[in-house]
Amino acid sequence: MNRKTSLRSAMALLVVASLTLVGIQPAQAAKTQVTIWSYGNVIEPWGEQEYERLHPTIDLKIKKNSMDANHQSLITAFKANTTPDIAAIEVSYSGFFRSYPKYFTNLAGLLNENDYLDWRWDQGVGIDGKVIGIPTDVGGLQVAYRKDLFKAHGLPTDREAVGKLWPTWQAFINTGKTYVSKLSTAEKASCKTKKVCYGFIDNAGTMYPAILNQGAKKYYESNGTLIYNSNANVKTAFTTTATAMNSGISTRINQFTSDWNAGMMKGVFATVLAPAWMLDYIKQQAKSTSGKWDVADLPGGGGNLGGSQLSVPAAAKHPAEAKAFIKWYLSPAIQLQIFKRYGLFPSASSLYNDPALTGYKDKFFSNAPIGQIYVTGARQLRPIFEGKNQRAIDNYFGQALAKVAVGKMTASAAWSDAITQISKNIKN
Amino acid sequence: MSNTADSLAAPKKRRPTNVFKSENPHKPEKPKRSKRSDRRKNTENGIKALNPNWGYAFVAPFFVMFLIFGLAPVIYSIWIAFYNWDPLGDEQQFYGLTNFTDLIVDENFWIALRNTFSIWFFSTIPQMIMAIGLASILRNPRLKGATFWRTILLVPNITSVLAIAIVFGQLFGRDFGLVNLALTYLGMPSHIDWISEPLPSHIAIATMITWRWLGYNALIFLASMLAIPSYLYESADLDGASKWQQFRYITLPQLRNTITFVLIVGTIGGLQVFAEPLTLGGNMSGGDSRQFSTLTLFLYEQAFVNNRWGYAAAIGIFITIIVMIISAINFAITRRISSEDNKN
C-alpha cells in the first residue's frame, strides 16, 4: 500500500515536471534561437554562456552529435532544407563539403583572412573560391609521454632529450622497441595471455594520419584527381605504420574507449600522439597521473590532426545572427580565451607571437611550454589538399592497417587490399 | 440506394457459415458459439445504417501516410539504384544494372550478410529458450510480487540503445572489461578480445540484444502460457505426469504459434540490427576489419561515408528480397504448424 502511494506520487511528480518543462519553452521564444550542430568540444561551454550573457536576446541551441553522424545528418539536412544556422565541419569532411559550395553562405570579409594560418583558412574555401567556413582550432600534433615510465624503462625524461630520441619515425619505432624490451617478464607474459598488453604507444594506427599529414599531398591532386595509389607519401605512411604494428610496441587499444581511459591511468602505455585538443581529455581522464606527463616534439617535424570550421548553410533561418556569433567566437581574442580554458589550439596565427599563448604552461604536463611547442609545430606544417572522399579513403586504409595489427595480413597484402577496396568503393 | 442494399446483403452472405458452424455436431462448445454469433449479428445490425463508403475515409489517413512516407521513398530508392547517385550533386550518372552486379561480387556485402545471420542466431535462439524459462518461473502462482517482476522485465526494453551500447562496450573491454575479469576468476586462462574478433564480437552484440528483448519476449510467452486452459494441467496431474512432462507435452505444443510469432519478429529485428554494432565499433564499418558489419550498417556506410546513394539503394533492394525469402519460409512453416494443429 505504502509502496503504491509513493510510486503514484513519484509518477505524479514526473508528469508535473514534464508539463512544467513543456510549459517553460514558449516563454523563451521571445529570444532569437540560433541553432548550432556540433560535435566534441567545438563550441566550448564558456563561449556559449559568455555570448548569451553579452547578447541577452540570443539563445544558442547547440545539438551535439558524434563526429561522423554530425556530418551525415548535414547531408540529409541540405537535401531537405532543414539545416541549422551554424554547422561545425571537421577538416576530414571539409574536402567533401567544399565540393558543394552552393549549400553555404559566403563568409568572405566576416573576419580578416590574414589573422589565420593560411593553409587552415584554405580548408574552408569552396572549389569556386567562396568562403564557406572559418577555422576554429588547429589540431597540432605532438607526443605526450609518461616521464615516470620512460625513466623506469631506461629512457631519458627531459623533453629536449626525448625529442632527440626520434628525429624520424623509424627512430621512434626503435625507441619503442628499447622500451618494450625493458618491460618486466610479468608484463611481457601478460600480453601473451591477452590479459593486459603493455606497450610503448597506445595504438600504432594513430601514426598513419600523423605521417600522412606531414607530406605535401594525400589522396588527391589539388585539381581533384585521385592519387592514393601512386602518391609515395601515402605508401610511406602506410608501410611505416605497418612496421610499427609488427614491432610489438603498440598496445592495440582503440582511442576513446574505456580500455584507453583505464590504460592511460594505469600506465599501460607510455606515449600518445596528442593533438592539442586531446591534452584536455587526458587531463580529465587520468587526473591521478598529474605531473607525470610531458610533451615532446613529433618525429619527422610538425604534425596536425583534426581541427574544425564553422559554416552558415544557405538555408539557415537566422544567417545574420549566425554570422555575428562566428565573428565573435572565432575572433583571435576569443580563440585565446578558449585556448586558456580548454587547450584548443587557435587557428588565428596572429596570436602565435602573443606571450599569453607562447608562454602557456600546464602543471599536469610537468610545466611543459605547451603553447610554444604547438606553435612551433603548427608553423612547420605545409598546406595539404583535402579531397572529396578523403574520410572514406582514410577508413579503408585504416581497416587494412587493422588487419596488419592483429596479424591477419602482411603489410604488402594489406596495401593491395586497401587499394582494391578503395577503387571499388570510391565512385564519385 | 445501392449502398443500403450492399449493407443489407453483407450479413446475409455471412449467415450460412455461422449457421454451419453452430450446427457442426463435433464442436463441443456449441451453446457458447451460438451466443457469440448472436452478439456478432447484433453488432452488424447496428452498423447497418452507416454508409460503408465511410470505411474508406477512416482508413484513408493510414494510406495517405503510407503513400507519402512508405511507398514514395521505396519507388525513389528503386529509381536511384540505377544511378551513380551523388547525394548533393546536380547531375547523376545513369548506371543501369552496374550497382546490382557490383553488389553480387562485393565481398563486404557477403561479410555483412554472414555477420547479420550470425548475430541473429546468437541473439534469437538462446533468447527464446531463456524467455520461455523466465515465463515458466513467472507463471508459478507461488511467486511473490509477480507484478513487480513482470514490470521490471520491461525496464531493459525502454532503456536507450545508446546507453546500453556504452555500458556493454565497457563491460566487454579487452583489458579492463568486467566480463573478462569475471571469466578470469572463473578460471579462463586468457582474455577474450570481444571487439576485434568476429565470433566474440557477435556474441557481445547478441548479448546486448538479448538483454534488451529478453523480458519483452518472456512477457509474450507468459501471456500465452496463462491462456493455456488449466484443466489440461489438472488432468495431467491426475495422470501422474511430472512437471517436465507437463512442460514438454502441454506447455510447449500450446506455445507453438507464439514461438513462431517471436521468431518472425526476432528475425525482422535481427535483419535490422544497426545501433548496437554502430555504437560498439564507433565507426560505420562495423569494427576495424568489418567483423561486425551488418547489412543495414553496410547500407548506411555506402550511403553516408562513401556517398554512393545508388549503391546503397541497391543494397536496400537486396535486403528487401532477403526479407521476402525469409518471410516466405516463415509462412510455409506457420502453415505447416497450423495444418498439424488441425490434424490434432
pLDDT in tens, A97-143: 999 999 999 999 999 999 998 888 988 999 899 999 999 998 889 99
Higher pLDDT among residues B177 and B7, named by residue: B177
* A196 vs B contacts (CB less than 8 Å): 175-176
B177 falls in which pLDDT band (50, 70, 90)?
confident
Q: According to the model, what pLDDT value does residue B119 have?
A: 95
Q: What is the CB neighbour count within 10 angstroms for residue A31?
A: 15
Nearest alpha carbon to residue A316 among A56, A38, A32, A34: A34
Q: Is A306 left (phi over 0), alpha (psi -120 to 50) or beta?
A: left
CB-side neighbour CA atoms (13 Å) of B7: 16
Q: Higher pLDDT residue, B338 or A127? A: A127
Say yes or no for a CB contact (<8 Å) between A75 and B189.
Answer: no
pLDDT value for B280: 84
Residue with more model confidence, B342 or B116: B116
Q: Does B83 touch chain A (CB under 8 A)?
A: no
Rounded to whole angstroms, how far apart are CA atoms B211 and A238? Answer: 40
Would you state the pLDDT for residue B28? 47
Return the pLDDT at B265: 85
How far does CA A167 lie from the centroid of its chain?
A: 24
CB contact under 8 A, A395 and B195: no
CA torsion A379-A383-A388-A394 (nearest 10°) is -60
Q: Tell me, what's the pLDDT at A321? A: 95
pLDDT score recorded for residue A256: 87
- Of all residues in chain B, the one with the smallest CA distance to A402 is B288
At A13-57, the pLDDT tens digits run 444 445 444 444 544 557 899 999 999 889 999 999 999 999 999
For residues B303-325, average pLDDT: 91
Give helix then strand counts, H and E, for chain A. 19, 8
> Shortest Cα distance from A72 to chain B (angstroms)?
6
Element (H, E) at A323: helix A319-329
Mutate to test the interface with A, among B104, B176, B283 (most CBs of A within 10 A): B176
Average confidence score pLDDT of chain A: 88
Q: Is B136 exposed, middle or buried (0-12, 13-18, 19+ CB in 10 A)?
A: middle
Determine, for residues A259 and B192 on separate chains, whether the beta-carbon distance falls below 8 Å.
Answer: no
**Contact partners, residue B242, CB within 8 Å, separation at least 6:** none
pLDDT of residue B33: 46
Q: Are strands A86-90 and A32-39 parallel, antiparallel or unpaired?
A: parallel
Q: In 3-state terms, chain B is what percent helix, strand and coil (to 5)?
A: 75, 0, 25
- Smallest CA–CA distance, residue A137 to chain B, in Å, is 23
* For B188, nearest residue in chain A (alpha carbons): A193
Q: Is B177 on the interface with A (CB under 8 A)?
A: yes
Cβ within 8 Å, pair B174-A398: no
**CB of B69 within 8 Å of any CB in chain A?**
no
Q: Are B306 and A100 an interchain contact pair (Cβ–Cβ within 8 Å)? A: no
Side by side, the strands of the sheet bearing A293-296 are A271-274, A142-146, A293-296
Largest CA distance in chain A: 76
> Cβ A259–B93 below 8 Å, yes or no?
no
| Pair type for strands A32-39 and A58-65 | parallel
Res B20 pLDDT > 70: no
What's the rounded Cα separation, in Å, for the pair B288 and A243? 18
Contact list in B for residue A391 (CB cut-off 8 A) is 305
Across the interface, of B191, B283, B306, the residue whose CB is closest to A195 is B191
Q: What are phi and psi of B17, to 5 degrees?
A: -60, -45
CB pair distance less than 8 Å for A100 and B84:
no
Chain B residues with CB inside 8 Å of A127's CB?
Answer: none
Q: What is the CA radius of gyration of chain A?
A: 24
- Nearest in space to B156 (alpha carbons), one of B196, B211, B104, B207: B211
Q: What is the dihedral of CA B79, B82, B86, B87, to 10 degrees?
A: 20
CB–CB contact B190 A193 (8 Å): yes
Q: Name which of B3-7, B74-78, B90-94, B211-215 the model is least confident about.
A: B3-7
Which residues 239-298 in chain A show a CB within 8 A of chain B? 251-254, 256-259, 262-263, 266, 268
pLDDT in tens, A292-311: 999 999 998 878 888 899 99
CA angle B146, B150, B151 (to 5 degrees): 120
Determine the Cα–Cα distance for residues A334 and A136; give it in Å rounded to an integer.
10
B254 min Cα distance to partner chain A (Å): 35
B84, A427: Cβ pair inside 8 Å? yes
Q: Interhelix angle for A319-329 vs A45-54, to 10°?
A: 120
Q: Higher confidence at residue A9 or residue B220?
A: B220
| Interface contact B282-A395, CB threshold 8 A | no
Looking at per-residue confidence, does B125 or A385 come out higher?
B125
Per residue in A363-411, pLDDT (tens digit) is: 999 999 988 988 888 888 777 888 889 989 999 999 999 989 888 899 9
Non-local CB neighbours of B255 within 8 Å, separated by 6+ positions:
B132, B221, B224, B225
Residue B14: pLDDT band by 50, 70, 90 thresholds? very low
**Closest to B88 (Cβ–Cβ): which among A78, A257, A426?**
A78
Closest CA to A345 of A322, A379, A318, A395: A379
> What per-residue confidence (pLDDT) applies to B217?
94
Q: How confident is the model at residue B248 (pLDDT cuts 50, 70, 90)?
A: confident
Amino acid found at B141: P
Give yes or no for residue A178 having a pLDDT over 60: yes
Instruction: Look at strands B83-84 and A58-65 and give their pairing.
Output: unpaired
Fill in the amino acid letter for A359: G
> What is the average pLDDT score of chain B?
82
How much is the ipTM here?
0.79
pLDDT of residue B293: 93
Quick one: pLDDT at residue B338? 65
Q: Which residue has the cell 462448445?
A: B29
The one-letter amino acid code at B54 reads W
**B88 in A contact zone (CB under 8 Å):** yes
pLDDT at B40 over 70: no
Q: Does A100 touch chain B (CB under 8 A)?
A: yes
Which residues does residue A88 pair with via DSSP β-bridges, in sequence order? A310
Q: If pLDDT is split at 50, 70 and 90, which confidence band does A166 have?
A: very high
- Give A-chain residues touching B169 at CB under 8 angstroms: 257-258
pTM for the full model? Answer: 0.80
As a whole number, mean pLDDT of residues B276-300 equals: 88
Lowest-confidence segment of A312-326, B116-130, B244-258 by average pLDDT: B244-258
Q: With 90 as the cut, is the pLDDT of residue B192 above it? A: no
Tell the burial category of B292 from Cβ atoms under 10 Å away from its Cβ (0-12, 13-18, 19+): buried
Q: What is the mean pLDDT of residues B128-149?
A: 89
> Is residue B143 very low, low, confident or very high in pLDDT (cuts 50, 70, 90)?
confident
Work out the pLDDT band at A239, boundaries 50, 70, 90.
Answer: very high
pLDDT in the model for residue B342 = 59
Residue A338 CB neighbour total at 10 angstroms:
21
